[in-house]
């Protein structure tokens, strides 16, 4: 997928949209050769790539560097760049500087969390020619207010608020909305209420598409096993085994052999 128009096309055909996160060139190259529709350069980079405890630690420079790396490796994919913590809450000028920075780094659209208090900003970005993906439910940048990485919208009031925010984001011009960790029936209700596609993570099967963090689906962290992740690989085990075999070969003087040496 190369264009924002294809999201709507897939939505009208009822074709599921697949999205994965990516932060670097070498994995972007692999995704570029895969059937995945869309790449999210998520602010989860701050946790996955930089070892911070939350996405609060991502900033514009960090996100732009990852977008640049991904855009180089995945020239055939639609790339979404995450607006980092508070960058959309400091006024229009710093927000638009952030948007400009991510788009010039190679993103085709931006994603931002939440709705309340920045719907006008969303419209302003869209009116400036930049597609915006919304993000509701568990919005990890608000982890300190939410009291942890918890399922959102379990109660009647909070479910209604998320639904209303989704409708407001569509009205503000979003082309798609990520629904993170909300009950499956609520995700279905929201998806049915919108004309734009929803992309779920931990929100059941009835969204228009699904997204996972690449490192989660590849099993890169054996200690991280949330209910909603399906692991397609024991990436940690396979990579550790390769590194251990190299280590053993070096120590047994089995590497390099003659054909791996210049004569
Ligand atoms: O930053 C991220 O990886 C995300 C996904 C979890 C949707 O926002």
pLDDT tens-digit readout, 57-80: 999 999 999 999 999 999 999 999
The answer to whether 112 and 132 have CB atoms below 8 angstroms apart is yes
Ligand 1 atom showing the smallest separation from residue 111 Cα: 8
Q: Residue 180: which H helix or E strand, with range?
A: strand 176-180
- Confidence band of 1 (pLDDT split at 50, 70, 90): confident
82 close to ligand 1 (CB < 6 Angstrom): yes
Q: Is the pLDDT of residue 258 over 90?
A: yes
Q: Is the pLDDT of residue 231 over 90?
A: yes
189 catalytic residue (yes or no):
no
Q: Which of 20, 49, 82, 199 to mutate to test the pocket of ligand 1 (most atoms within 8 A of CB)?
A: 82
pLDDT at 99: 98
**Span 36-60, pLDDT tens digits:** 999 999 999 999 999 999 999 999 9
**Span 232-251, pLDDT tens digits:** 999 999 999 999 999 999 99
> 43 CA to middle of ligand 1, Å?
6
> 135 CA to middle of ligand 1, Å?
9
> 42 CA to middle of ligand 1, Å?
5
- Confidence band of 191 (pLDDT split at 50, 70, 90): very high
What 32-38 contacts at long range (C-beta under 8 Å, 24+ apart), as own/partner pairs, is 32/73, 32/74, 32/75, 32/76, 32/77, 36/77, 37/1, 37/6, 37/10, 37/77, 37/78, 37/209, 38/1, 38/7, 38/77, 38/78, 38/79, 38/80
State yes or no: cis peptide before 256, omega within 30 of 0: yes
Task: Render 53-99 in DSSP notation, one character per residue.
Answer: SSGGG--HHHHHHHHHHHHHH-TTSEEEEEPPTTTTSS-HHHHHHHH
202 close to ligand 1 (CB < 6 Angstrom): no
């Amino acid at each position: 997928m190369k264009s924002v128009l294809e999201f709507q096309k897939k939505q009208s055909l009822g074709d599921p949209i697949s999205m994965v996160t990516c932060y670097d060139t070498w994995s972007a190259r692999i995704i570029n050769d895969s059937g995945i529709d869309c790449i999210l350069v998520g602010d989860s980079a701050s946790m996955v790539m930089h070892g911070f405890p939350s996405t609060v630690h991502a900033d514009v420079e960090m996100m732009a560097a990852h977008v640049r790396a991904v855009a180089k490796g995945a020239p055939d994919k639609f790339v979404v760049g995450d607006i980092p913590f508070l960058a959309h809450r400091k006024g229009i000028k710093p927000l638009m500087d952030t948007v400009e920075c991510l788009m010039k780094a190679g993103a085709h659209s931006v994603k931002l969390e939440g709705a309340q208090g920045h719907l006008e900003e969303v419209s302003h970005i869209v009116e400036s020619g930049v597609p915006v993906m919304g993000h509701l439910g568990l919005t990890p940048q608000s982890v300190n207010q939410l009291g942890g990485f918890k399922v959102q919208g379990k109660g009647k009031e909070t479910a209604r608020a998320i639904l209303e925010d989704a409708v407001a984001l569509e009205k503000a011009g979003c082309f798609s909305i990520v629904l993170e960790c909300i009950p499956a029936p609520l995700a279905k209700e929201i998806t049915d209420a919108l004309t734009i596609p929803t992309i779920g993570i931990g929100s059941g099967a009835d969204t228009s598409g699904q997204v996972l963090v690449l490192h989660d689906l590849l099993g890169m962290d054996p200690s991280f096993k949330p209910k909603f992740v399906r692991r397609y690989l024991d990436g940690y085990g396979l990579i550790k085994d390769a590194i251990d075999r190299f280590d053993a070969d070096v120590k047994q003087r089995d590497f390099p052999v003659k054909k791996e040496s210049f004569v």
